[in-house]
Amino acid sequence: MDTAIADTTPLEYTEEVAVATAPLYAKVAGVIPSVEWPLHAPYIHAINRLKEQRNAVILAHNYQTPEIFHCVADIRGDSLALARRAVDAEADVIVLAGVHFMAETAKILNPSKTVLIPDAAAGCSLAESITGADVRLLREKYPGVPVVTYVNTSADVKAESDVCCTSGNAEAVIRALGADRVIFLPDEHLGRHVQRQTGVDMIFWKGACEVHERFTAEEVRSYASAYDDIVVLAHPECPLDVLDAADYVGSTAGMIDYVAQRKPARVLMVTECSMSDNVAAEHPDVDFIKPCNLCPHMKRITLPKILRSLQTLEPRVEVDPDTAARARRAVERMLEIG
């Protein structure tokens, strides 16, 4: 075994590293304490050099920590943005700083490229709530009803679906189908939100995001009463009563656009905690109140694991070719809709 790869000794914070990473720290100084930077900077420096040697790109979801999101990622965004831009990535290697279903989607759309997930155990409560066999049973029970599947699912589930969607385009996907009734999988909260928007009869699955389901309307109202000028932005994976207590409901990309365009003085983002840090780094003039619900799966991705993944080109994400072909049709249909 290569001892350089096997060695778990922390990397050294040298003068060379300090100088090379200083511009990056300037971006995140408002959200990463200076005492922590010497721990992150050596890995950031090593990753950024190695990804050039590997002809690799790093895709980072909005829920990644700031040192990953702002300092090593080449492509950043929500699941829809990552799906779109993965197709155009001019690289031999894609490293997905997110969770496993996202890496599967990247592989489905880029079958000839090496796709890596720095921690293969980075899962998702939604993706784990349903299987392809479950979808087949639903099709038998409701013959002829189209199946719309949230991208937070495995390739096996996508392969059994008619079209995928994200939280950002779910309404557009449902309207584009022109159906009076659809099967919406697996996030029940998102489905009920979209049902209210579209008026379409929906058959739901009892799936939920373990992060967003923890938020309560009482909690949101308590923040609103404590801060007169606060603007509440909520992700549609939250329960309906939480959404009703918010000023704006939208995807992570929608929340980012809201802050950038409207510049509210004080914001509460009802979503995964790291997202507030990432947006705050770009909008230091906005006061972010942070109810910190962390995704344990997203937090499995760390700088040392990203470096190790680039060194070893492992763990690789592979998808059965037949499953990938069928799943690709559902994902590409979503991308065509917008």
Edge-to-edge, what's the strand order for the sheet holding 56-61? 75-77, 56-61, 93-97, 114-116
pLDDT per residue as tens digits for the range 263-275: 999 999 999 989 9
| Predicted TM-score (pTM) above 0.85 | yes
For residue 104, the tally of other CB atoms under 10 A from its CB is 26
| pLDDT confidence of residue 126 | 92
**Half-sphere exposure in the Cβ direction for 263 (13 Å, CA):** 3
Is 3-122+298-312 in CATH node 1.10.3720.10?
no
Q: Which CATH number fits domain 127-209: 2.40.30.130, 3.40.50.300, 3.90.1300.10, 3.40.50.10800?
A: 3.40.50.10800
Alpha-carbon torsion, ordered 242, 79, 102, 241, to 10 deg: 10
Query: What are the tens digits of pLDDT across the range 98-133?
Result: 999 999 999 999 999 999 999 999 999 999 999 999
- One digit per residue, pLDDT tens: the chain, 338 residues? 343 344 457 899 999 999 999 999 999 999 999 999 999 999 999 999 999 999 999 999 999 999 999 999 999 988 778 877 878 888 999 999 999 999 999 999 999 999 999 999 999 999 999 999 999 999 999 999 999 999 999 999 999 999 999 999 999 999 999 999 999 999 999 999 999 999 999 999 999 999 999 999 999 999 999 998 999 999 999 999 999 999 999 999 999 999 999 999 999 999 998 999 999 999 999 999 987 789 999 999 999 999 999 999 999 999 999 999 999 999 999 989 87
CA atoms within 13 A on the CB side of 108: 28
Per domain, the residue ranges of the chain are 3-122+298-312, 127-209, 212-289
CATH fourth-level superfamily of 212-289: NadA-like (3.40.50.10800)
